Amino acid sequence: MRGGGAGAVIIHGPPDDPIVTEVIEVNGVALTTSYEEEREAMDRAVSWIENHADISAKVLIVTDSQSLCKAIMEHNESTDDTLRTALGHCRQKIKLQWIPSHTEMKRMDAQMDTLKQKQSSWAE
């Protein structure tokens, strides 16, 4: 992939009426893969959690990257442990959820669509 990018949308509140707290956008490198960009997005989300979320918070990280979820959960030695370690160091209770294309998350879909449009413009 050329000129990708990564993004994370930080929300809080009830799932049926979430409130967007922050949108994190990162320009991708010249040549990259979807996996690398999804990993960057999760790195940024975990960093945000470490630096901003209340210690007692219950956090759900949602991604449409099944391969990233598997890499984190399987403890595969060939997989970079940096993200898994960062998740382990967070004092908040964190759950990781794979949802194909963010199904049933309409407001998040709108934010993700905005990020994807911006990603396309990053490549230009």
For the chain, the domains span 5-119
Backbone angles phi, psi at 43, to 5 degrees: -55, -45
Distance (Å, whole) CA 3 – CA 35: 14
For residue 76, the model assigns a pLDDT of 65
Q: Which amino acid is at 17?
A: D
Is the pTM above the cut of 0.75?
no
5-119: CATH homologous superfamily? Ribonuclease H-like superfamily/Ribonuclease H (3.30.420.10)
Distance (Å, whole) CA 10 – CA 32: 24
* Segment 114-122 mean pLDDT: 57
Give tens-digit pLDDT for 25-59. Answer: 888 777 888 888 888 899 999 999 999 999 999 89
Give tens-digit pLDDT for 49-106. Answer: 999 999 999 898 988 889 888 888 887 665 667 888 899 899 999 998 888 865 555 5
For residue 1, the model assigns a pLDDT of 52
